[in-house]
Amino acid sequence: MLFSSISFLYYFLPCVLIIYFCTPKKFKNIILLLSSLLFYFYGEPVYILVMIGSIISGYIHGLLIDKYKKYKKVFLITSITISLGLLILFKYSNFIIDNINSIFNAKFALLNLALPIGISFYTFQILSYVIDVYNEKVAVQKSIIKLATYVSLFPQLIAGPIVRYSDIEKELSNRTHSFENMALGIRRFVIGLAKKILIANQLGEISNIFLQTDETSVISYWMYGIAFCLQIYFDFSAYSDMAIGLGKMFGFHFLENFNYPYISKSITEFWRRWHISLSTWFRDYVYIPLGGNRVGKLKLLRNIFVVWCLTGIWHGANWTFIIWGLMFGILLIIEKIFLLKALDKIPKIFRHIYVLFVVMISFIIFNATDIRQAIYQIKGLFGINGETIINSYTLYYLKSYLVIFIIAIIGSTPLLKNIIEKLKQRSKINKIINLFEPIAIMALLLISTAYLVDNSYNPFLYFRF
């Protein structure tokens, strides 16, 4: 079940909210847990057992680590082995077997297991809980209901952000509900929904058109690169907005996951603003345990290399993702060694261009089916494939989607947010904004619904995760 679906918006969510707020406080976690399991069962009837098994494993290992401190390292290793073992089995088994067959000319049969939706997200959440219990950063959770609610919480189950147990530990036991939080939650959710339906999906359409056509030109490759960059930002950030909004409705406060990454002036800054929950997870649970930057230069380079190799692999079982991750790792190493100092000496506009160009190239690789396709598309940006600069086919779609491109480019910056905040500083204008904001939110909801009823293009990019 997708957040951007009629069944979720007008059936599942209203029913859950009504039951939840009619339920006494001590039973609210049970309602959330049952709702979350139903939400997951709707899309993954069989693989819900994998998630339940992962939760039980995390719960038992947490108790064992807390009770038998002498052997807690053994229990940590077994917990990590089980969690990562399930992730590798379902997500990477075909990739591993296929590469073994290619290298050794073997003929091992592929397992062809379907990828359980959200397994990368809930695996990392369980791992962070168990590791934090091991490091005594959080108290062990003795209620399996509360731990299962944390892991399976449907607002962030299938598309993140990666919520750490420490972030909502207190709210699992005692959270407040208010009309203000509900209003803020609805506002944030609807804005995310509109970003997904009205912007990301439209950009997805144009990306898909250029991937399928033979009528390519140099400009079409640039249109595709820019469109996909904007699509993936609006899609990913939209789901984070919807998750944060839903969390507020139920009394949870999830951390921000995107902070206008396309205004960055370096790749280092970009990764402080992009998918923050993922980059900080790898920082805290991989990079720092390896020694972080408090080691020699060679080990520092090793640490960065390991983290970005794993970051690429986390995104999918394909060499394109690994190269995508390693590309960022190499750039971050180069920036750390000397490039950041050089960038500080040039005008901001050129730093922005550098970041946007590198990110566009990276996402062309990210979205390619294989390395050969990625190289072909990158060559197309520079006319190396022999296409004309522009043709009538490209011109038609450029005119058709120009408004969406402009809206998306402006929307990917804090320009509108800053303008509204400045206007709100004037009391009269602030009153007008407060009056019309609910109307605008309702209008966005109705327009988004109309698109969904019309069976608009509505892809779910998180299937690969």
* 31-35, 36-40, 266-270, 297-301: least confident range: 297-301
**What pLDDT sits at residue 465?**
58
Which among 462, 261, 256, 236 has a CA at the least distance from the CA of 358? 261
Residue 424 has pLDDT above 90, yes or no: no
Burial class (CB in 10 A: 0-12, 13-18, 19+), 225: buried
Q: How far apart are CA 301 and CA 291, in angstroms?
A: 11
Smallest Cα–Cα separation from 54: which of 45, 43, 64, 62? 62
Which residue numbers are catalytic? Answer: 315
Instruction: Record the tokens describing residue 309, joined without a space.
Output: 């190799």
- Does the pLDDT of residue 464 top 70, yes or no? no
- For residues 294-308, give the mean pLDDT: 88
> Under a CB-based contact definition with an 8 Å cutoff, are residues 381 and 225 in contact?
yes
Which helix or strand (DSSP H or E) is residue 427 part of? helix 427-453
pLDDT digits (tens, 9 = 90+) for 4-29: 899 999 999 999 999 999 999 999 99
Q: What is the pLDDT of residue 463?
A: 63
pLDDT tens column, 109-118: 999 898 898 9
Q: What is the pLDDT of residues 201-256, one digit of tens each?
A: 999 999 999 999 889 999 999 999 999 999 999 999 999 999 999 999 999 999 99
- Phi, psi (degrees; rounded to nearest 5) at 178: -150, 160
- What is d(CA 409, CA 356) in angstroms, rounded to the nearest whole number? 12
**What pLDDT band is residue 324 in, cutting at 50, 70 and 90?**
very high
Cα separation, 412 vs 263, in Å, equals 8
Give the start-to-end residue ranges of the domains of the chain.
6-175, 181-453
- Contacts of 41-47 with C-beta under 8 Å, sequence gap 24+, read 42/1, 42/12, 43/1, 43/117, 43/158, 44/116, 44/117, 47/90, 47/114, 47/116, 47/117, 47/119
Q: Is the peptide bond before 161 cis (omega within 30 degrees of 0)?
A: yes
- Lookup: tokens for 90: 């379902």
Q: Is the pLDDT of residue 428 over 70?
A: yes
Rounded mean pLDDT of the chain? 93
pLDDT tens by residue, 38-78: 999 988 788 999 999 999 999 999 999 999 999 999 999 99
Q: For 47-182, list the strands marked E by DSSP.
A: none
The per-residue pLDDT for range 347-381, each reduced to its tens digit, is 999 999 999 999 999 999 999 999 999 999 999 99
For residues 464 and 323, give the distance between their C-alpha atoms in angstroms, rounded to a whole number.
16
Structure confidence at residue 450 (pLDDT): 93
pLDDT band with cut points at 50, 70 and 90 for residue 175: very high
Residue with tokens 């190239």: 361
Report the 10 Å Cβ neighbour count for 57.
Answer: 19
Whether the pLDDT of residue 462 is over 80: the answer is no
Identify the top-confidence range among 31-40, 420-429, 455-464.
31-40
CA distance linking residue 274 with residue 363, whole number of Å: 13
* Three-state secondary-structure class, residue 343: helix
